[in-house]
Structure 1
Amino acid sequence: MTGQGVQINWSKITEAAGLYASGTELRQVQTRLKRLGKLAGPIEHATEALRGLSDGKLSEVRIRHDFLYQEKPLVGSDRKMPSRAERPPASRLVSPRGAALKLFLIALYEAQTRTKPGNRPDNTRPIVRRGRFDVGWIDLVASAAESSGAGRTSHRELEKRARQIRETVKKLADDDHLLLTLPNGTKSTGNYEGFLLNHEGGVSPLGTPPPRYTVPVVKDADFFTVPVELFTNGWIYALEDTELVFLLMVARNQPSDPNTAFRITAAERIQHYGVGPHTYDSHKLLAQMGIVEVTDDTHRYPDGRVADYNGNNALPHQLRFTPDGLEKQATEPTVGYLESRVPPSARVPSSSAGTGVEPAAPA
C-alpha cells in the first residue's frame, strides 16, 4: 500500500519484473495516457466540484446489490459471456469510452450528499449551470471535449460537453436500462433536464420499469458501500469502467473483517456479476494503486496462465479490498504506473508529449 507522501519509482519496479506492455496492450496504454493527459485539468475541476457537494459530511456511498449482482445465475463462460442485455446494470454499462457508468455513480453520490436515507431525491440541478456560482451536471463530469474552432472557444466546448451529458442521460433512460426517468421527456426543449434516478436494478428481465430511487436505509441491508474518496479524490474519472466494476465487486465481497481475504470463482463472476476475464484483469492496476490486495495462486505465472493445468489445479486469486488506497489523489499515481508500462524504446521526453510516451499507434 502506498501513502500520500510516498514516491514510487514504477519504472524500476516494472523493468525488474519484466512487465512492460507490448503489442495491442502497449497501444492501449499509450491511448489511455494520452487521454489522461487531456483530462488532467478537467479531472481536477470536476473533483473539486464533487468535493464541494459533500463538504466532508459524507463518508461513504451506498449502492444496492442489484446494480452489480444478479441473484439468478446467468448462463455463460469466459469463451461465451452472457449477452449484455442479461447482465446486471453495472457490467452492462461498461464501455471503453462511454460515460454512462460514471455518470450514474456520480448521480448516486450527488443524491446522497443532499438526501436522507429512505427519501427520494429530486433533481433541480441544470445540465449547464445558470449562474457564476452554480454547479451543473457538466461540472461534475470530467470531459476532454474540445472545440473545432480557433480563438475563443468556451461556448462551443460548453455545448459539446452538454451534448455528451444529454446523450448519456438518454442512454441511461432508454428501454434497455431504465436507470433514469425523464419527467420532461416529451417537451420540445429541455427534455433531459430534471432527470430522476430509478432503482439501481434498472429494467427487469420481464421488461417492467423499476420504482423510483430512494437512498438505501440500514435496516433493509440491501446495499454495500464504497468510500466517498472514490469520488472526492478523482478515482471515478481516472479509472476505466472495467476497473470501476472490479472495484465495486471487491467492495461488495469484502468481509466485515477488513483483514480477511476472499476469492471470487470464475462461475460466480460470470453468472452473477456478468464480468469477463478482461474486467477481472483490472485487478492489476488496482493492486499497484494499493486499492486491492491480490495474492496470486502459486500455480499461476505472472501473465495468469496456470502451470501444468489439468482443470482442477487453478484457484482464483485471493482478494482483499484496501480502501486506504483511495485516500490519495488519483491522476498522478495512475499516470505514473501507466508510464512505467511503456518500454524505454517507445518513450519520448515528457516535455514533448505531456505523458512521456509516443502517441498511440493506430489499432
Structure 2
Amino acid sequence: MHTASLAAATAGYVMPQLWRTLSKTGYFIGLSGAIGSTVTYATTIRPALRAAKANTEDAEVLRRRSAHYLAWAGVILLVAGYFQLAARVARAGKGMPFGDALAPERIWDYLRAPAAKGAWMAQGTVYLVQNLVLVATAATLIALFAPGARRHTDRIALTALPLSLAVTLIAAVPTTTPADLDAWLNLVLDQSHIVSGTVWLGGLALLVALAGTRKRLGDGAGLFWADVWRRFGLLAMICVGAVTVSGLWLSWKHVGAVPQLWTTGYGIALLVKVLLVAGLVAAGAFNQFWLMPRIARARTADDTVTLLHLTLRHFPKVVWGEVALGVAVLAVLPFISGSARTEAGSPKAVSSGTLFAGGAALTVALALSLYATAKVADALARREVAAAG
C-alpha cells in the first residue's frame, strides 16, 4: 500500500500523547511488579525453598532478595498508580492538561463526582475503592523494607497477592449493567489477559533479579534453581494459554479482517505486540525444549558445575531477553487504542453460536497442544537423563 493510501486508511487513529503513553506503560509495569512477583513467589519461590535441600545460608540470601524486590514493587506500584489516576482525570469529561490533573484537589473532585444517569455507582467511586486497595497493596509490600518484617516475608507476600489482583479487578467493575453476553465476555477476558500477562512478565522479572544472587550462593544452588525454572515453566505455560485465548477474542472484537493489521493504526500497533509476544513464546519454547532437558541431565549426573552454569548463567541470559521483550510489549500497549474496525469502517463484531463453538474448540485444541508440549519436554528430559545414565 502507498504511503498516501496508508495515511488515509489510518486517519481515524489518534496517537496517544506522551503523558498517556508513559502513565499507562508505567501502570502496567507496576501491576506486573506487584501481581507477577507475589504470584511467582507464592507458586514458585516459596515451595521451591521449602522443598530445597540447599543450605540455610542460600535460602536466607534468596528470601532477603525476594523481600527487597517485593518492597520495591510496592514503591513502583504506588507511584505508577498515582500517575495513572491523574491520567484518568486528565481524560475525563472535556479533559485538562496532565500537569493540572496531578493536583490532589483535582483528583479528589474527580473521585467525588456523582454517578452518571442510569449508573448504579459513580465511576469515581470505583476508582476510589481501587486506589484505596492499591495503597493497601503497596503499603503491605513496602513494609518489607523493615528488617523485622522480612522474617514474615511468606505471610506478607501471601497477603499482598489477593490485594494486588483486586487492584485490576476492581477497576473493571462496570457502573452500568453490561448490555449483552459479549460485553460480559469483554470484561472477563480483558481481565484474564491483564492478569495472565502481568503474572508472566512480572514473574520473569522477579526470577532474573533473584538469579543475580548467584555469586553469593553455594555450589548446591543449581538444584534449587532447576526446581524454580521447572515450576515457573508450568506457570508460564498456563499464562500463555490464557493470554492466547483472551487475546484472540479481543483481537476479533477490534479487527474485522487480517489486512487491517497493517492498514490501520490500531492494527499496526497490535501486530507489533503480537510479534513481540511471539518472541516471548519462542524464548519460552527454547527453555522448555533445549535448556530444561540439559538441566535434567546435569541433575541426574550430579554434575553440580554444569547445573549451576545452566540454571544461573545460561538460563537467566535467555530470561533477560524475555524481560526486554516484555517491557517492549508494555511500551506498545498505549498505542493499541480505538478499533481497527472503526478506522476501516467495518461492521461491529457480533458473536454467534457458531463463533462460540469455534472458540471452545480452539481453546480445547490449545489446551491439548500445551499439554503435548509439556509431555514432549518431559520426554526430552528423560532422554537426556537416560543418556547421562
The TM-score with structure 1 as length reference comes to 0.33
- Determine which structure has more spread, i.e. the larger CA radius of gyration: 2
Q: Which has the higher strand share?
A: 1
Q: Which has the higher helix share?
A: 2
The TM-score with structure 2 as length reference comes to 0.32
